[in-house]
Chains A and B, each alone.
Chain A
Amino acid sequence: MAKGIFIIAEQRGGTLRKISLELVSEGRRLADQSGQSLAAVILGHQITEEAKKLAAYGADTIYVADAPELAAYTPEAYTAVLSELIKAQEPDIVLGGASQQGKELTAKLAARLETGLAMDCVGLSLEEGLLIARRPIYAGKVYADVVCETARPQMASCRPNVFPILEPDAARTAEIVSVAVSIKPEDLRTTLVEELADQSGKVDLTEATCIVSGGRGMKDSENFVILEKLAGVIGATVGASRSAVDAGWRPQSDQVGQTGKVVNPNLYVACGISGAIQHLAGMGSSKVIVAVNKDPDAPIFQKADYGIVGDLFEVVPVLEEEFKKIM
């Protein structure tokens, strides 16, 4: 019997992350479709007020696990608290985020609960009570539909930026349930010593709605300043191809592709990127792709919605100026 849907909300520094709203919205959709209730679970310290925001997006119940030890995420303590709650409540479906934190947490949780987890999904549907999860594999060269037939809960982690957020309804309320937290010493072996804030303050590539990327055609690290300027105008994050990273022009964390980050922004502007198969796999699900390249035969043009054959050093500054006029 269906016993409800749980979503694992994510907070950092006491603030809900966007993925939490995406999860509640998708959870609501599945709950309505199957006539189940939707519960959001949040772990942290002094987060009840923040957690209440989840009601407007569709949570019927909000479980709050509040303890000083849970203020910052650690894999062991979070897994322990969540697995106890899930064992007690026996939900039919548990959704988490395929964020950096969520991927680790859901993987650990699924193993502890001895159930199946569909990682990094881009689509979820229900067929006769079974959760059919669609997930890109080979960095998106193929999509797999996976299912967990017998073990419960059915678990999936949702790729950020894919599942649309519902319009919040301020009139909606949820029952707030405080979770009794008992954390054993062995759940505190792994400790967060320090959090080094990223000085750039830019949105991570995996969560960016707009990306401007540079490849071998950028010729040098200093030339990326023209991409930074364009990105500044349209609120984009700067990414890079593997060639640009391997050349030492950009940090590893900027790499888009099969051995870097898989991204899915609304707009992806590829500058001086020829479009190696590994790169195309990593950005192929972008909603709109723009390519600027000197070589008219570059494979990137086969994937691009709009292409400009030309010198990026001439084109990019024009784009910056033209966008400035309308932003």
Chain B
Amino acid sequence: MGGEEKEANVNILVCIKQVPDTESQIKIDSGGKGIQTADIKWVMNPYDEFGVEEALRIKEKTGGKVTVIGVGPQRVVESLRTALAMGADEAIHVDDPAADGGDALATARVLAGSVKDVPFDLIFCGQRAVDDDNAQVGAALSELLQIPLLSVITKVEISDDKAKVKVQRPVEGATWVFEAPLPALITTQKGLNEPRYASLPGIMKAKKKPLSAKKLGDLGLSPDQAGLQGSKLTIKGLTPPPERKAGKIIEGETAQEKGTILVKLLREEAKII
């Protein structure tokens, strides 16, 4: 029956952030509150790739639609197109300076606003973005949408009736198995899957897939609810990490000699053992 098939579909949203490649050297800019972006190579946050991949795998099994959402300047389109080339169906780009640079709650408001007319059963966010290491946007979005939150997940199983999700979450010394009703929000951890590369036909197809650009007004938000203006937490300043100098290279003829000296130094000089 067509109707049943339709019910079986799972609609999935994946939130994507574009971040500096992890190879990047990070230098503080002259204002002291941001980083120099001139030589940065921008990529999709690695944790978000796990979300795109997992969404595609679920879609391939059950049918449905995968929509990716990104907030940020024009360059973010590249990461959204990458997700479309991997196999996502549609992209939403919130391209409005007033939406950028917000804290977790301000950013979550933008994401919540951009999906207000999009039906969903599942939302994926990376467990953290490798730029600000904030690990909060998924949680804040789950609060705004009032749906269950399943954080830092390495295994996702959707029940046959598509009503529930069961997940695995590694914590210190254990793995927790949680279950929650759908719709729910999952934040993804390394180990969940191995993201695919976009194929050449995929890249060609992605160019024709729908990508809609939105402004804050389209989301029903005013500038004081989003971006820097809508943020409670602000950056006072950035500093370089404490300097680490190269230390001693242990001299010696043999491994035995070097090892003996090292252990003596760790005990007597570093007093660590």
Where the two chains meet, the residues of A that have a C-beta atom closer than 8 Å to any C-beta of B are 74-76, 99-101, 103-104, 107-108, 110-112, 114-120, 132, 135-151, 189-198, 201-204, 206-207, 234, 251-253, 255, 258-260, 262, 266-267, 277-278, 284-285, 287-290, 296, 301-311, 314-315, 318-319, 321-323, 326-327
Contact = CB atoms under 8 A, between A and B. Distances in A.
Interface in B67-114: 103-105, 108
A74 B169 CA distance: 12
B235 interface: yes
B204 interface: no
Contacts of B1: none
Interface in B197-248: 231-242, 244, 246-248
B117 interface: no
Interface of B: 20, 22-26, 28, 35, 46-47, 103-105, 108, 130-136, 138-140, 142-144, 148-152, 154, 166, 168-181, 184, 189-191, 231-242, 244, 246-250, 255-256, 258-260, 262-263, 265-267, 270, 272-273
Which 8 A-B residue pairings sit nearest by Cβ, starting from the closest? A116-B233, A318-B259, A107-B139, A116-B232, A314-B255, A252-B191, A305-B247, A204-B172
Contacts of B151: 75, 103-104
A284 B243 CA distance: 10
Question: Would you call the interface of chain B mostly helix, strand, loop, or mixed?
Answer: mixed
Contact of A259 (B22, B131, B171): B22
B132 to A, nearest CB: 5
Question: Would you call the interface of chain A mostly helix, strand, loop, or mixed?
Answer: mixed
B263 A197 contact: no
Given A104-B139, A114-B232, A145-B237, A253 B248 contact: no
Nearest to A327: B273
B185 to A, nearest CB: 11
Contacts of B154: 252
Contacts of A296: 249
Contact of B174 (A110, A190, A198): A198
B273 A234 contact: yes
A111 B181 contact: no
Contact of B172 (A189, A206, A234): A206
A110 B104 contact: yes
18 contacts: A108-B142, A117-B233, A143-B241, A145-B236, A189-B148, A189-B181, A190-B149, A190-B180, A195-B176, A196-B168, A252-B154, A259-B46, A296-B249, A304-B247, A307-B250, A310-B255, A311-B255, A326-B267
